[in-house]
């Protein structure tokens, strides 16, 4: 049973608008949550993370929100750019040992 | 040069064959991981190693084995490949010294016929 879920396989957004990618998890003991971005034929690259003791972390156009009561996190990209088109993976870190990944959301930002 | 390299990048093999996927890193990290990616399932952990003498099974270790030859090298073996091991395989490293993130290699695409 997947502990980290991304229920939207794909998302299409117009350039300049906001992209919101969602992720749900089941284990309340996760220490950190991370977002990775993956282009075709490349490995995932780290984008942004948030500690389980915080509810928001911002880095430029990227903001991650954590709602622990709902076991939900989201990644906001504002404004979206065509170069943001990629697959985004949500991941959770357990006991500072193991990472659990969601199935990914493919974002398409239209010019 | 890439910090995490994987060889080969693509491999086609037949059922029953033994194959090895190799991973090397120049980041000086102690921790190394092997994942496989399947459509609709994301990345699933096969094995991980926190130093040369420490090897741990992940979620889906059956049918796989690993060897940590040095801090910089972590190889994944399929002793007798089967078609449902067809997937994209990623190696990753981390150190948790100031950062909880992982650094991934470019992946190896494996097809088992």
Question: Is A52 at the interface with chain B, CB within 8 A?
Answer: no
Residue B96: Cβ-neighbour burial (10 angstroms; 0-12, 13-18, 19+): middle
Chain A / chain B CB contacts < 8 angstroms: 54
Mind listing the pLDDT tens digit for each residue in A18-47? 999 999 999 999 989 999 999 988 999 999
What six digits make up the tokens of B49? 């190693």
Quote the Cα angle for A38-A43-A49, to 5°.
Answer: 60
What six digits make up the tokens of A96? 């500072």
What's the rounded Cα separation, in Å, for the pair A88 and A71?
Answer: 18
Digit-by-digit pLDDT tens for chain B (113 residues) are 669 999 999 999 999 999 999 999 999 999 999 999 998 788 999 999 999 999 999 989 999 999 999 999 999 999 999 999 999 999 999 987 656 789 999 999 999 99
- The answer to whether A49 and A34 are in contact (CB under 8 A) is yes
Question: Is B15 at the interface with chain A, CB within 8 A?
Answer: no
């Amino acid at each position: 049973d997947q502990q980290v879920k991304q229920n939207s396989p794909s998302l299409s957004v117009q350039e300049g608008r906001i992209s919101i990618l969602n992720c749900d998890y089941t284990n309340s003991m996760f220490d950190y949550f991370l977002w990775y971005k993956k282009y075709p034929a490349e490995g995932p690259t780290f984008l942004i993370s948030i500690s389980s003791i915080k509810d928001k972390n911002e880095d430029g156009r990227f903001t991650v929100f954590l709602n622990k009561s709902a076991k939900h996190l989201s990644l906001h990209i504002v404004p979206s750019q065509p170069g943001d088109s990629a697959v985004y993976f949500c991941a959770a870190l357990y006991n500072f040992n193991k990472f659990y990944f969601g199935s990914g959301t493919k974002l398409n930002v239209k010019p | 040069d890439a910090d995490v390299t994987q060889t080969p990048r693509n491999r086609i093999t037949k059922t029953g064959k033994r194959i090895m996927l190799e991973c090397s890193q120049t980041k000086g990290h102690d921790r190394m991981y092997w994942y496989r990616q399947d459509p609709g399932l994301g990345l699933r952990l096969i094995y991980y190693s926190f130093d040369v003498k420490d090897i741990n099974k992940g979620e889906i270790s059956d049918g796989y084995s690993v060897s940590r030859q040095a801090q910089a090298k972590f190889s994944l073996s399929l002793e007798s490949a089967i078609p449902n091991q067809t997937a994209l395989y990623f190696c990753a490293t981390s150190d948790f010294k100031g950062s909880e993130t992982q650094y991934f290699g470019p992946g190896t695409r494996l097809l088992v016929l």
